[in-house]
Amino acid sequence: MTATAIHASRILTPEEEISDGVIVVEGGRIAALGHRDEIRIPTGAVDHVATGLTVVPGFVDVHIHGAGGHDFMEATPRALDRITATVARHGTTSLVATTVSADIDETCRSLAGIAQYIRAHEKEANGAEGAAEGVPADRGLAAEILGVHLEGPFISRVRRGAHPSDALATPTLEAFHKLAAAADGLVKILTIAPEIPGALEVIAAAVEARIVVGIGHTDATYEETRAAIQAGARHAVHFYNAMRPFNHRDPGVVGAILTDPEVTAEVIADLIHVSGPAIQVLIGSKGFDTVLLASDGIAATGMPDGNYRLGNFEVNVKDGVARNAEGKLAGSTLTLDRALRNVVALGVPLVDALRMVTVLPARRLGVAGKKGILAVGADADLVALTPDLRVAGVMTRGAGLA
């Protein structure tokens, strides 16, 4: 198997900074990395020189609905190929395919399509590793789908945002198990409003199934949120958006999340969904270790303004801002490279901002060591950044970065 040796002016793993570094990639994984004096490059390795660039891990998106004109709810191989290829060009190398509230049977059909796609890719990757000649099927540059994020239907009618009201459902174990089974055990995140009757029982079942429970689209009080955390919820979905707002005598869900160090909060850092100072308040309260940047990107991501679909409804995109027919924000056209630049522009140190799109989401999803980090044995998912944090090259599991 041919190895690739990537020579970079700087590597941010991001837990460590290496100047004049080399990363050796073999079979889709990182075989070695370190300062150029420490690394023995295998004979016959193809050199890739990234002079003047910083190589960082590929970004991990915990909340994304689509890109490149397609929505995950379409769930056809063509749609999923298109989405994963589009975001990869912006540095996202793995993601969790996010649904939007729809009829349960219809959602199940989408989940089955996504699960089938993931399983087919797993098989292919395993087959390639086992092959004698070891030539992995070159799928080109594409983000890996790690699983599914169920955003709805167990959300608050009052804080539904753009989710259609007729698609919302009461949380029941029966509905939850039906969705989880349709996804073939690949649900990674469940967004739920903890104040709805039945929610705590579903939260406990999801935690039992090792699903990350995200508090979101919720009108929960401080006490109701505490009860959800007690039941095992450990994540907050697009923090501030579609949540009961903070009040100093009624801190609500926002107050409960800001004050709990165990709970991670994803934020849409497009500076449209949330203002810069509000992001600073979030980071100021929670520190650098529990804030994740998520895109909430929809089909319009990487596409011109116009009309797109999000699940079952139409969204109009003007100046890159996506709204439904009622004029409510309906996802974003944000990519994680832009989110990273926005947060750095707010004064967050680069390494800390990078961790918010790499190590921290990988840890929350239980794939630390494999994704979101440059380390021996990790998947060769990496991004070369220019000094102004533009994406100059991307590699997904050893493919790309030509």
What residues are labeled active site? Answer: 296
One-letter amino acid at 346 equals L
Dihedral class, residue 300 (left if φ above 0, else alpha if ψ from -120 to 50, else beta):
alpha
Q: How far apart are CA 160 and CA 158, in angstroms?
A: 6
**Cα–Cα distance measured from residue 64 to residue 61, given in angstroms and rounded to the nearest whole number:** 7
125 backbone dihedrals φ, ψ, rounded to 5°: -65, -45
DSSP 244: P
In the 8-state DSSP scheme, what is residue 235?
E
Q: Is the dihedral of CA 222, 224, 225, 229 positive or negative?
A: positive
Longest Cα pair distance anywhere in the chain, in angstroms?
67
DSSP label at residue 72 = G
Q: Are 342 and 353 in contact (CB under 8 A)?
A: no
Tokens standing for residue 245: 């707002």
**339: three-class secondary structure by DSSP:** helix
Q: Dump the DSSP string for 169-221.
A: ----HHHHHHHHHHTTT-EEEEEE-TTSTTHHHHHHHHHHTTPEEEE-SB---
- The three-point CA angle 93-257-240 to 5° equals 70
What's the Cα-to-Cα distance from 300 to each of 80, 271, 346, rounded to whole Å? 14, 17, 26
110: its two tokens: 């989408």
Tell me the DSSP string of 280-329: HHHHHHH-TTSEEE---B-TTTTS-SEEEEETTEEEEEETTEEE-TTS-B
